[in-house]
Amino acid sequence: MARSAHPELTRAALLAAARQVLRRQGATLSLDAVAREAGISKGGLLHHYPTKERLLAALAHALVEDFQRELAAVHGAETAQRGPQPGAWLRAYIEVCFRPDVDEPALSAALAPLGALPEQLASLQEMQAFVLRDAEADGLPAGRAHAVRLACDGLWLGRQVGIPDLDAARLAALKEELIAWTRP
């Protein structure tokens, strides 16, 4: 990749390359492999992301932003179809959380070390504070809203730590039950 007059495009290409490398190599991602995948020199990569941790932190932020965009799109569709009803945001959250994600295992394994870096963890927590705010603003009792949200989060986290996943029938039953909890 030639030097770009648009550094944001170069950073986006580097993050896309990091995703590809993570899909193939998981947590063994190297900066050399990311640079090769992006078609840029390692020095060019280091200009934008001076450390592996900075690259992974940027990727984590991009993933949260992707999740927020997907959630907003699903919420918008829900609202357009049924109008602004209580529980609409939580139904969108359920829908997005229950979709299969091909990147999930490799990305989660690679991003886990960021939890040990207090400044990165604080930044990610701040960026994801919307889930508390939006769940509580969804028109349902706060306890029920958080029970739904935490069930979705627990499903995702369980997969990350190796807890046996539910089969398709059980997943469908869980999803239906959580959706029922979002109806006023």
Who wins on pLDDT, 114 or 90? 90
Query: Which residues have C-beta within 8 Å of that of residue 97, sequence separation ≥ 6?
Result: 152, 153, 155, 156
The upper half-sphere exposure of residue 55, i.e. CA atoms within 13 Å in the direction of its Cβ, equals 30
Q: What percent of the chain has pLDDT over 70?
A: 89
Among candidate residues 17, 33, 50, the one where a domain is terminated? 50
Say which CATH number the domain at 20 has: 1.10.10.60
pLDDT in tens, 119-147: 777 777 787 889 999 999 999 999 999 99
Dihedral angle of Cα 12, 77, 165, 56, to the nearest 10 degrees: 20
| Domain co-membership, 107 together with 169 | yes
Who wins on pLDDT, 73 or 164? 73
Type of residue found at 168: A
Give start and end residues of each alpha helix (H) in the chain: 7-25, 31-38, 42-48, 52-82, 88-97, 104-111, 118-127, 130-136, 142-161, 168-181
Number of domains the chain contains: 2
* Residue 32 structural domain: 1-50
Q: How many CB atoms lie within 10 A of CB 146?
A: 17
